[in-house]
Amino acid sequence: MDKYSKLFEPMTFKSGVKTDNRIVMAPMTHYSSNDDGTVSEAELRYYAERSNGPGVVITACANVTANGKAFPGQPGAHVDSMIEGMRKLAETIQKNGSKAVLQIHHGGRECPPELVPDGDVVSASAVDSSNGNVHARALTDEETAEIVRAYGEATRRAIEAGFDGVEIHGANGYLIQQFFSPFTNRRDDRWGGSLEKRLAFPLAVVDAVKKAVSEHTRRPFLVGYRLSPEEPYEPGITMDETFALLDALVEKDLDYLHISLQDFWSNARRGGDPGRSRIEQILERVDGKVPVIGVGSLHTGEDVLKAMETGVPLVALGRELIMEPHWVEKIRAGKEDEIQTALRKDDRERLVIPEPLWNGIVSRPGWFPFES
What residues have CB less than 8 Å from 68, skipping those under 6 apart? Answer: 78, 105, 106, 107, 108, 111, 116, 147, 150, 175
Q: Where are the alpha helices (DSSP H) in the chain?
A: 41-50, 83-94, 141-160, 175-180, 195-198, 200-216, 239-250, 278-286, 301-308, 319-323, 327-332, 355-362
d(Cα 278, Cα 299) in Å, to the nearest integer? 19
Phi-psi region for residue 287, left (φ > 0), alpha (ψ -120 to 50) or beta? Answer: left
Task: Please tell me the number of Cα atoms within 13 Å of 18 on its side-chain side.
Answer: 3
- The phi, psi pair for 138, rounded to 5°, reads -75, 135
163 vs 89, 158, 236, CA distance in Å?
9, 5, 34
Considering only CA atoms, give the Rg of the chain.
Answer: 19
What residues have CB less than 8 Å from 8, skipping those under 6 apart? Answer: 1, 20, 21, 22, 332
CB 257, CB 291: distance < 8 Å: yes
> Is 225 part of the annotated catalytic residue set?
no
Catalytic residue among 174, 225, 233, 256: 174
DSSP state of 117: G
What residues have CB less than 8 Å from 78, skipping those under 6 apart? Answer: 37, 63, 64, 65, 66, 68, 150, 153, 154
- Active site residue ranges: 174
